[in-house]
Amino acid sequence: MKIFNTVKVKLTLPPFAMFLIIVVLAVVVGSGFFKTAITNRVESSLKSENERFQHEIKNNIKDISSIAHLFSSMQTVVGNFSICQISQDTINTDELFSKELLELSSDFDYNIDFYLPDGKMVYTNHDNATISNDELVFLKNVANSQRAYNGFANFNNEKKILSIYPVISSRKTIGIVVISKEIKELAKAFFLPENVGLVMLDENKREIYKTSTDINIAQLNQVVLENKNAFFDVGNYKIKAEEIYTKNKSVFATVYIYFDMSDELGFVKDLLFYLILFSLFAFVVGGLIYSWGINTTIVKPIKLINKKILILSRGELTDKINKKPNDEFGQIISSVNILIDNQGSTAEFAKKVGVGELDVEYQALGKNDQIGNALIEMKDKLVIAKKDEEQRKAEDDKRNWAINGFAKFGDILRQSSDNIEEFSINIISNLVKYTNSNQGGIFIYNDDDENNITLDLVAMYAYNREKYAEASIKLGEGLIGTCAIEKQTINITDIPNDYISITSGLGEATPRNILLVPLKIEEKVFGVIEIASFNKYEAYMIEFIEKLGESIAQSINSTRINIRTNELLEQSQQQQEEMKAQEEELRQNMEEMLATQEEANRKEFEVKGVLDAINSSALVAMFDTDWNVISVNENFEKLFGIPKEQMIGMNHSNFSDSLTKNTSLKNDIENGKIVKLTTKLSLPNGKTIWLKELYSPIKDANEDIIKIINISTDITQEKELEEKLKDKKA
């Protein structure tokens, strides 16, 4: 509202508003104090009533226990018998209790029932006495155990306190006394003070009993779930909750003692209302008196000054104020007049600076003229900011150019194939376009011939067209060879007219700038990029191409590794096929040799022919049954470098530990089985080899083993190739 924007209100309202706030705070604090005191008194009362109700339940349990014990042990005469002498078979239910006992039972406000051990009811002092199946089972358990039970029970959805005592005669249960009372009847009989009520819920939060119909059980359960405090509120009721537990510590029922707070809260509200009403009256009367004095001495001069300042605030010129009181307002008016004089020159200066005329002159009123000096400082900073903005924009353009370039070539490098030529033309064509060059080429490091290492031109691009040319430059030859040797970027801006036709191999046009960048990873060179342009390559472009060269080198290296891996795989597959063919040939030879073993004594010359064939392609050694050398072939002698004469008589363990470590294989051979295995041997000269061995026992006509032959094939080359493949994959 506009009224609150006036000086009169701003000067008048605060002191009286403060007064009103203090009074209201006092009222609120006072009412809060009264409310707290009432709440504490009510909570104390609820706690006391809850404890009293819990005590009432305990006393009733104690009472019914005493009564049950009295009935179970009392000697009641029926004819010539006592209740403790009656057996289940001879009992007369019509004459069970005497008149005196019946009169005694009527004095108690409890349900008294008497059952036989089989669950048959023979006496009760109340109407509609029934027994459920679960209650019958419970009574029989008590009868069998001959132990009394005191506590809580829930039969036929009725919560009870009860005491059960067995009647025992001659160590035999002849009856069961049950004293009980419904928990809701106990709650009805419990005396409560005015405004205090009671609600009981079972373990499933269902209603057992309540004294007021205003309590909503569903709302009560919801508040209990959300509130873990000892006391809580439901409507105008303050409630104290307490749980009743059975002997096994499970919840039997929950008791809520509540107090109706309506009267107490109404008193606090009335007190608060009258105190606030009094405060408002005092505020209105005092405000009127105070406002009249403020309006006369302060508000009118302020309105006059405000009128002039309002005109100045709109950027308009106005006349000076002629009326000058001899007080602080007179000084303010003088200052406003000075402000009017300076408004014109300041507005003109700000207008010119606003349209970008940063060379305009402006004279401040003095060294303490903060506005004038601030305007001059603003103009100087705008001049600097303009220069900084131009420089920053240029740097951002360079940075964005490099970032976009790395993203573009990152995608290209990720799509690299196993074809070096295809990969190279894709790189050089995009690089020439992105750097606005005229032509370019990629020279790849070729070390296939270690005696003649060259840099081969694999891709060339010029004037938006792919070029086809062949060039091979030796290391150190021309600028390309020099770049590869020195591993440094070469940037040439002073280019002779005949440079390209002599050394570059890129065409016949004479560029203005030639840039050669080595493709290297750390200090290893994989090639050289050469690009040429009619424009000068800036430093940020050269830095970009150098970093890109590292990525290109990594891709070239990966591509070469992939190509070499494929070649090794093909070579390995070919060697495996050859080894399989040799193994098959050897297997066939062995089968033929074993087939003729039965005629070994008669056809030694045939065996010798077979052995000669084997001797020419394999390592052959013959051992006796004690594994001592009988004979070896020349291949075996050359492998170990020991003369045959010295080998004769040496044990197998002197050459290999393959059978020493694996005695099961040795036993298989000695038992007549043919055994194949792969063995790694360390020769006397320090060289390590791999052998594929076959051990075959030679039998005589009686099937007795007389010799053992060992035929081995050198597979060292195959094993080394496998190790290389594993290293490449790793």
Report the alpha-carbon distance of residue 185 to residue 110 in Å, rounded.
10
Same domain, 511 and 556: yes
Residue 598 has pLDDT above 70, yes or no: no
**What is the rounded radius of gyration, in angstroms, for the C-alpha atoms of the chain?**
58
CA–CA separation, 192 vs 695, rounded Å? 107
CA distances from 94 to 71, 88, 109, 359 (A): 18, 14, 24, 130
For residue 524, pLDDT beyond 60: yes
366 is a domain residue: no
| 104 shares its domain with 242 | yes
Same structural domain for residues 551 and 613?
no
**169 and 26 in a common domain:** no
14 vs 1, which has greater pLDDT?
14
* 338-363 residue pLDDT tens: 677 677 677 666 777 676 666 677 66
- Is residue 458 one of the residues assigned to a domain? yes
* Residue 606: CATH number of its domain: 3.30.450.20
The CB-based long-range contact list for 285-289 (8 Å cut-off, 24+ gap) reads: 286/16, 286/19, 287/12, 287/13, 287/16
Judge whether 353 lies within some domain: no
Task: Give me 429's structure tokens.
Answer: 């064509």
Q: Distances in Å between the alpha carbon of 563 and those of 413, 456, 541, 567, 570?
A: 17, 18, 32, 6, 11
Band (131; pLDDT cuts 50, 70, 90): confident
Q: What is the mean pLDDT of the chain?
A: 76
Residues 471-497, mean pLDDT to the nearest whole number: 84
Sheet harboring 688-699: ordered strands across? 629-632, 619-623, 705-714, 688-699, 675-682
- CA torsion sign, 221 to 227 to 228 to 232? negative
pLDDT for 19: 66
258 lies in some domain: yes
503 has a pLDDT exceeding 50: no
Residues 478 and 602 placed together within one structural domain of the fold: no
pLDDT tens digit sequence for 296-329:
666 667 777 777 777 767 767 677 777 666 666 6
256 and 126, same structural domain?
yes
Burial 509-538 (b: 16+ CB within 10 A, else e): eebebbbbbbbbeeeebbbbbbbbbeeebe
pLDDT band at residue 613 under the 50/70/90 scheme: low
**What is the per-residue pLDDT for 590?**
73
- Tell me: pLDDT of 65 over 80: yes
* Residues 118, 186 within the same domain: yes
Residues contacting residue 488 through CB under 8 Å, at least 6 positions apart: 518
pLDDT above 90 as % of the chain: 1
State whether residue 96 is helix, strand or coil: coil
Give the least confident one: 176-185, 387-396, 522-531.
Answer: 387-396
Instruction: Report the pLDDT value the prediction gives residue 31, as an integer from 0 to 100.
Output: 67
Q: Which residue has the higher pLDDT, 202 or 161?
A: 161
The packing angle between helices 7-73 and 262-294, to 10°, is: 170
CA 304, 305, 311, 314 torsion: positive or negative? Answer: negative
What gap in Å lies between CA 271 and CA 288, rounded to an integer?
Answer: 27
Total domains, the chain: 4
Long-range contacts of 567-570 (CB under 8 A, 24+ apart): 568/721, 568/724, 568/725, 568/728, 569/725
Q: Residue 358: which of 341, 334, 383, 381 has the closest Cα?
A: 383
* 627 and 520 within one domain: no
Residue 247 phi, psi (nearest 5): -65, -30
- Whether 518 is covered by a domain: the verdict is yes
What torsion do the CA atoms of 573, 576, 581, 585 make, to the nearest 10 degrees?
180
Decide which of 241, 262, 283 is a domain's last residue. 262
pLDDT above 80 for 547: yes
> Which one-letter amino acid corresponds to residue 182?
E
Whether 204 and 56 map to the same domain: the answer is: yes
pLDDT at 198 over 80: yes
The mean pLDDT value for 626-645 works out to 85
User: pLDDT value at position 618?
Assistant: 81
SS3 617: helix
Digit-coded pLDDT (tens) for 33-57:
767 777 788 778 878 888 888 888 8
- In this structure, are 257 and 273 located in the same domain? no
493 has a pLDDT exceeding 60: yes
Q: How far is CA 552 from CA 127, 284, 521, 556, 701, in A?
A: 104, 87, 9, 6, 74
Going by pLDDT thresholds of 50, 70 and 90, the confidence category of residue 279 is low
Last residue of a domain, one of 210, 235, 262: 262
Residue 711 lies in a domain: yes
pLDDT higher than 60, residue 468: no
Amino acid identity, position 693: E
For residue 485, give its domain range. Answer: 416-566
Confidence of residue 76 (pLDDT cuts 50, 70, 90): very low
Most confident option among 484-498, 565-579, 698-712: 698-712
User: Do residues 253 and 222 both lie within one domain?
Assistant: yes
**Residue 315 corresponds to which tokens in the numbers above?**
């950027």
Q: Average pLDDT in the 541-552 region?
A: 87
Specify whether the backbone of 464 is left (phi greater than 0), alpha (psi in -120 to 50) or beta: left
Average confidence (pLDDT) over 657-680: 84
Instruction: Please report which residue ranges of 435-489 form alpha helices under DSSP H.
Output: 478-486
pLDDT recorded at residue 608: 64
DSSP 34-52: HHHHHHHHHHHHHHHHHHH
**CB-side exposure of 162: number of CA atoms within 13 Å?**
23
Establish if 118 belongs to a structural domain: yes
Q: Is the pLDDT of residue 125 over 80?
A: no
pLDDT at 438: 84
Q: Is residue 411 part of a domain?
A: no
Same domain, 556 and 639: no
Q: How far apart are the first and last CA of the chain?
A: 81
**Amino acid making up residue 500:** I
Q: Which of 194-208, 318-332, 434-448, 472-486 has the lowest mean pLDDT?
A: 318-332
**What whole-number distance in Å separates Cα of residue 241 and Cα of residue 224?**
9
Helix 328-354 / helix 300-313 crossing angle, nearest 10 deg: 10
Among candidate residues 501, 445, 500, the one with its CA nearest the CA of residue 473: 445
Tokens of 403: 């970032």
The per-residue pLDDT for 501 is 45
| 454 pLDDT above the threshold of 80 | yes
pLDDT in the model for residue 610: 62
- Can you give the pLDDT at residue 81? 37
What is the DSSP track for 213-249?
A: TT--HHHHHHHHHH--SSEEEETTEEEEEEEEE-TTS
pLDDT for 80 equals: 36
Domain edge (last residue) among 547, 566, 585 = 566
List, for residues 260-274, the tens digit of each pLDDT value. Answer: 777 766 666 766 677
Identity of residue 312: L
- State the Cα–Cα distance between residues 715 and 255, nearest whole angstrom: 92
CATH number of the domain enclosing 514: 3.30.450.40
Please say if the pLDDT value at position 464 is more than 60.
no
Mind listing the pLDDT tens digit for each residue in 148-191?
888 888 877 788 888 888 888 778 888 888 888 888 888 887 88
Q: How confident is the model at residue 16 (pLDDT cuts 50, 70, 90)?
A: low
d(CA 269, CA 375): 61
- Greater confidence, 282 or 21? 21
